[in-house]
A and B are shown apart, each in its own frame.
Chain A
Amino acid sequence: MHVEAQVRAKLLTNTEQYSQITDDIARPIEAAPNKEWLFWTTISAIVMTVCCFGLIGYLLWEGIGVWGLNTEVGWGFDITNFVFWVGIGHAGTLISAVLLLFRQTWRNSINRSAEAMTIFAVLCAAIFPGIHAGRTWDLIWFAPIPNTRGTLWANFNSPLLWDVFAITTYLTVSLVFWYLGMIPDFATLRDRFTRKGKDVAAGIYGALSFGWEGSARNWSRYEIISLILAGLCTPLVLSVHSIVSMDFATSVVPGWHTTIFPPYFVAGAIFSGFGMVQTLLIVMRRIYKLENYITMEHMENMAKVVIATGTTVGLAYMTEFFVAWYSGSFFERYVFINRAFGDYAWAYWIMFSCNVLSPQLFWSKKIRTSMTATFILSIFVNIGMWFERFVIIVTSLHHDYVPARWANYTPTWVEFGIFLGTFGLFFTCFFLFSKFLPVINMFEVKTLLHRPKKPSGIPEGKKDEAVHAH
């Protein structure tokens, strides 16, 4: 028997009927697009087209000479952005998979949008290694297919190839998990539109619903495979960022060559992802009036995860410093001192204050429950985590063993533009998602409702409520 303390804050407020949940979640889909939504979606789509697609076209035409990379700093904005976006994706999987395994019911109302965020973030991430490779048309060489290129086989010893496998698996498995979760909700929307006589919408959601009718036998299978998918996604999400970190950790570059990287990167990824989830949900719950579903309890829980992961990241920064000193390696020590006090000290201290200090404000309940403060802090987390990757990549590369080769890295407008463009891509996808797909998992939220009220249009039964609980 499942017993829950009554003192716990409710995860679903002011809701008494199952159909009320359907009404609330279907409202944005049924309503005509409002002006604000149209405005922001258009802006995002323009940014996506011009900055992301347009500048990538320019880049492919001209070559990566239009970036500020040089022989010393060979990885700049491209890989920073890649790691940044992959990291953001991690919170979605953590919410949908890890919290499912731990039976945290507060995930029920935020998992859908968090998973959507994961998929769009990984899409943005996948762009960067592709364009960074220079001759993008040769990406086919990553595929392990028999060829006539002789020894030009994919190198299975290379962490960059591991990344290809990890990101592909992560993207496709997350997509399947997300879609599988939406099938029952598509069926709900299909039947709702059929009742209202909107045949086109009913047809579209009907095709997407795969003919789902809510059979208990299939629910039983559905629940098991969701659990197994969660079980598969949990090590997957840990492996993805561990492998991303190995792009650095398996090298022999001081500042990268550290064994702490996999757990450090995973903690950072979850931290940045939760920052982004906070940013998105604060806006979404307000615009779509979802305060009854994404309650203060949810926002507070996320803030607590941010404190925990932010502090873990802080511990990792300090451990790195300690180990650099303790290792006795001259080059390792130099890189870390240079990181904190050298040419890029400003970036290091932005990173440190945004990631380690600002989340500590969440210890105060007043700040956790203030949406303005949480929104501002979540932006800080995003900024800080972008700088973390920038600091790791650029400061470790710009001063290496031979002082004569030292160089600095200045990104060009093309790099800024493409980075901005990925935000356009991300938000275009997210806005379209929030308008046309159910942003909250209706069927999972319905399980949170106990003692429902009798719906309208139902004739009087002999007995309306069960005498005993099960």
Chain B
Amino acid sequence: MKSNLIVAKFWNPDTLMDALAEVHHKGIPVYDCYTPFPIHGIEQYMDIKRTRLTIASFIYGLLGLSAALLLMAGVNGGALDLGWDIKSWQIDVGGKPYLAWVDFVPIAFELTVLFAAHGMVITFFIITGYYPGKKAELLDDRQTDDVFIMTIDADKVVRHDEIKQILTEKGAFEVKTTA
């Protein structure tokens, strides 16, 4: 986490939102907020853009779909010439067509979901930087329980005392600057 942050702590999410609205209205950029649970509508005051993880998920899904279709068509239909005698793997089931695409639907669907779900979650961990065993950087040991924190990058704003004044006025029970 960045050092030199103005940290304001609240105990009520409504008060935090009220202060955020004020800070946003005054054009002060917010560095981040730390809350025990997601607060809906907080994005508008923090200029958070909608995540593109959904698009990533769609692409992973397409990847899974293609992988499944290539696998099945490659094995059953001998559609892929991978340099070995693939025709010998075709299974004749009562004379049914090798490229019975209706039969491919369930597995194609399952692999689409498998790739989309796991790909998206793995990407989420990569972009957020969370990994097993990572040490959390906390501003308050109750921020995952019942304390709501707003932080402002002190390097990006001037008149720190005025900002701190606003935050206190708006209900922060503690305002400080981290070293």
Contacts and interface: CB of A to CB of B under 8 A. Distances in A.
B145 A22 contact: yes
A207 to B, nearest CB: 4
A62 interface: no
Interface stretch (A65-73, A180-188, A269-277, A326-334): A180-188
B15 A464 contact: yes
A460 B12 CA distance: 12
Interface in B23-43: 32-39, 41-43
B144 A461 contact: no
Q: Which of B17, B41, B110 has the most chain A CB atoms inside 10 A of its CB? A: B110
Contacts of A180: 121
Contacts of A18: 36, 145-146
Contact of B106 (A172, A173, A225, A243): A243
Contacts of A444: 37
Interface in A190-228: 190-192, 194-195, 206-225, 228
A33 interface: no
Give the bracket for the number of chain A residues in contact with chain B: 35 or more
Contact of B174 (A217, A219, A459): A459
Interface string B67-100: 0000110011000000010001111010010001
Which of A157, A194, A209, A443 lies at the interface centre, i.e. has the most chain B CB atoms within 10 A of its CB? A157
B132 A208 contact: yes
Contacts of A224: 50-51, 53-54
A369 interface: no
B173 A458 contact: yes
Interface string B56-73: 010000000000000110
B148 to A, nearest CB: 9
Interface residues of B, number: 81
Nearest to A250: B103
Contacts of B114: 168-169, 172-173
Nearest to B18: A466
Considering residues A158, A192, A466, which has the most beta carbons from chain B within 10 angstroms of its beta carbon? A466
B51 A454 contact: no
B158 interface: no
B46 interface: yes
A144 interface: yes
Interface stretch (A232-240, A284-292, A398-406, A424-432): A232-240
Contacts of A280: none
A461 B172 contact: yes
Nearest to A246: B106
B110 A165 contact: yes
B138 interface: yes
A153 B75 contact: yes
A28 B41 CA distance: 34
Interface of A: 17-19, 22, 144, 146, 150-151, 153-159, 161-162, 165-166, 168-169, 172-173, 176-177, 180, 183-184, 187-188, 190-192, 194-195, 206-225, 228-229, 232-233, 235-236, 239, 243, 246, 443-444, 446-447, 452, 454-455, 458-470
